[in-house]
Copies of this chain bind each other. A is one copy, B any other.
Amino acid sequence: MTQRQVRAAVLLIGDELLSGRTQDINLQTIAKFIAPLGVQVAEARVVSDAPENIVAAVNELRARYDYVFTTGGIGPTHDDRTADAMAAAFGVNIGVRDDARAILEAHYKGPGGLNEARLRMARIPDTASLIANPVSRAPGFQIGNVFVMAGVPSIMRGMLEDVGKRLDGGAVVKARTVRGKGVREGDIAAGLEALEAGANGAVSFGSYPWFSPDGYGLHLVARSADPAALEKAASDLKGLIRSRGSEPEEVDG
């Protein structure tokens, strides 16, 4: 396992996520999309629409991680402040850009079409490149190692297709999950710790209890970029479940 791990941060922007009005699902979508490309999410943050919060967070995260993925705040209304915040964070100018304006002009035709509010969505920081939006056209953008995407999940998902091509991934970390029924965390904790110690850092192990009307149990997860070590780990986890008198089942996720 000599390949470098490529690490990313996700920055979710929007008052509605902090108030509880909106349940975020973008973090999970991004994490699952980039993992097979060899990029792991190492940290995530949720900040309000206040520009100073966006600037501080993105500057801290882009210095610390290989990539930063942001969602939210690039629409046409006054509370969409992400583009200006990114320009401020990178110390570049921002204005309506011809390439972005052309995309919007083609989309918003007829009366009341590309008005001043919608033209806000063509404001792109200097040096940024556009990210295609196959859903509603108004583009996202990449500036440096930061990918700025929409907050609406269907639009964000569409933008990821364009983002994915630009990622230079490293080692691909894969997971194997073994399910045991009628087994509790406290029953396998010592065994699991021994497996983690024996793997010498090549595998990380996690334990996640589940409860349902017909019983309870555990999902034991092994994660590794080393296929052979991961295969052994999955086999070891099954043995651990069997040692508690339960028949293990391998499941997705």
Q: Which residues of chain A have a CB within 8 Å of any CB of chain B?
A: 15-25, 27-32, 35, 40-49, 53, 75-79, 108, 112, 115-118, 120, 152, 154, 173, 175, 177, 185-190, 192-193, 196, 204-209, 211, 221, 223, 253
Contacts and interface: CB of A to CB of B under 8 A. Distances in A.
B186 A118 contact: yes
Contacts of A189: 76-78, 117-118, 120
Interface centre among A53, A189, A211 (most CB of B within 10 A): A189
* Closest A-B pairs by Cβ, 8 of them: A117-B189, A20-B31, A118-B186, A78-B193, A44-B46, A20-B32, A77-B207, A20-B28
A152 B209 contact: yes
A108 B77 contact: no
Contacts of A211: 152, 154
Contacts of A205: 78-79
A217 to B, nearest CB: 13
A201 to B, nearest CB: 12
Contact of A117 (B28, B45, B115, B190): B190
Nearest to A205: B79
A118 B121 CA distance: 54
Contacts of A19: 31, 35, 40-41, 173, 175, 223
A116 to B, nearest CB: 7
A196 B78 contact: yes
Contacts of A196: 78-79
A221 B21 contact: yes
A118 B204 CA distance: 21
Contacts of A112: 187
Given A24-B27, A77-B192, A208-B22, A186 B108 contact: yes
Contacts of A253: 21
Nearest to A29: B20
A20 to B, nearest CB: 3
A44 B41 contact: no
Contacts of A208: 16, 21-22
A79 B44 contact: no
A75 B120 contact: no
